[in-house]
């Protein structure tokens, strides 16, 4: 059998294309890994742990953008190596992209709005917020998760609510009030520490509500304790915390209520039953 010899210039050209393709792929993979490592290092060194949910979203977004750019550049490079005319493909991709963008306006709006929410740090996971939608609906609760497209909130009734970021018109963040005023009360032990803290918090919130301050701004915590006494710290968070605390007269009213309940000495004396 007589075989025809391969054309030497064609074989050399093919080998050159294969070699250039391998080099381009290796370079793309190395660039992608190096840039991802730099992104991780940047976010770990620049941001504190309290902002981890927001930073994780930004980190993932940065990696996705870099990955997309690497894929596009590598694809164009490979097409150029194999001498493929990409002009028809570019025009077709342009028309397809325009059609998709027109049909997904709400999705694009949600993502753009979510990006600005993240960038401006208007709220974070765990914050107590009040979100007003463009239709006038109000959702109050704690932020459970946040992303570029949606924000997930556990409302005051325990329901899991998902809101498209593009539908959020107004954000009120009760966890980032600028001022805090506080005082402490030391009372004898009256049972379980958790139950005592809850009772004092309920009384303090009731006093604050009657003064027009609002329930969400009062926080009670156990500051110190001994074998006989427990010291609770009452924090009042508002734009004018010191003025609100003075106006509500919370110290005096809370101490008086605890006296009336028998938690503090000096309360009204109870009449002894008459002997028969």
- Say if residue 60's pLDDT is above 50: yes
Q: State the maximum Cα–Cα separation within the chain, in Å, rounded to a whole number.
A: 135
- Please give the residue that has the higher pLDDT: either 220 or 240: 220
Confidence of residue 117 (pLDDT cuts 50, 70, 90): confident
Give the 3-state secondary structure of residue 143. Answer: strand
Confidence of residue 25 (pLDDT cuts 50, 70, 90): very high
**Average confidence (pLDDT) over 16-38:** 90
- CATH class of the 10-103 domain in this structure: mainly alpha
Count CA atoms closer than 13 A to 245's CA, side-chain side: 18
Pick the CATH number of 177-260 from 3.30.70, 3.30.300, 1.10.10, 3.40.1350: 3.30.300
Instruction: Report the percentage of the chain scoring pLDDT > 90.
Output: 19
Alpha carbon of 88 to those of 92, 94, 99: distances in Å? 6, 10, 17
Tell me if domain 10-103 and domain 123-175 are identical in fold: no
Query: What's the first-to-final CA gap in the chain, in angstroms?
Result: 134
Give the 3-state secondary structure of residue 127. Answer: coil
Confidence of residue 84 (pLDDT cuts 50, 70, 90): confident
Q: In the sheet that 218-225 helps form, which strands lie side by side, from edge to edge?
A: 179-188, 229-238, 218-225
**How is the chain split into domains, by residue range?**
10-103, 123-175, 177-260
- Say if residue 48's pLDDT is above 60: no
Q: What pLDDT is recorded for position 50?
A: 42
Q: CA torsion angle for 58, 63, 69, 75 (degrees, to 10)? A: -150
Q: Tell me the whole-structure pTM to 2 decimals.
A: 0.48
Alpha carbon of 84 to those of 7, 44, 78, 91, 249: distances in Å? 22, 42, 9, 14, 80
- CATH class of the 123-175 domain in this structure: mainly beta
**Whether the Cβ atoms of residue 146 and residue 124 lie closer than 8 Å to each other:** yes
- Say if residue 55's pLDDT is above 80: no
Q: What pLDDT is recorded for position 12?
A: 75
């Amino acid at each position: 059998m007589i075989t025809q010899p391969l054309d030497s210039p064609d074989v050399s050209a093919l080998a050159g294309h294969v070699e250039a393709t391998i080099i381009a792929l290796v370079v793309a993979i190395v660039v992608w890994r190096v840039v991802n490592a730099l992104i991780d290092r940047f976010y770990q060194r620049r941001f504190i742990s309290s902002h981890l949910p927001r930073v994780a979203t930004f980190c993932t977004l940065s990696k996705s953008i870099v990955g997309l750019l690497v894929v596009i550049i590598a694809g164009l490079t490979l097409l150029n190596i194999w001498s493929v005319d990409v002009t028809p493909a570019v025009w077709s991709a342009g028309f397809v992209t325009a059609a998709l963008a027109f049909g997904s306006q709400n999705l694009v709006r949600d993502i753009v709005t979510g990006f600005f929410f993240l960038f401006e740090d208007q709220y974070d996971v765990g914050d107590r917020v009040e979100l007003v939608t463009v239709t006038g609906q109000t959702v109050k609760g704690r932020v459970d998760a946040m992303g570029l497209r949606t924000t997930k909130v556990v409302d005051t009734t325990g329901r899991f609510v998902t809101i498209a970021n593009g539908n959020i018109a107004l954000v009120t963040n009760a966890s980032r009030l600028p001022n805090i005023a506080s005082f402490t009360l030391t009372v004898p032990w009256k049972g379980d520490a958790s139950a005592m803290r809850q009772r004092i918090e309920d009384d303090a919130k009731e006093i604050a509500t009657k003064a027009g301050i609002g329930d969400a701004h009062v926080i009670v915590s156990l500051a110190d304790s001994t074998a006989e006494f427990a010291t609770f710290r009452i924090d009042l968070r508002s734009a004018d915390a010191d003025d609100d605390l003075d106006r509500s007269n919370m110290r005096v009213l809370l101490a008086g209520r605890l006296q009336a309940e028998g938690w503090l000495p000096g309360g009204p004396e109870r009449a002894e039953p008459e002997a028969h």
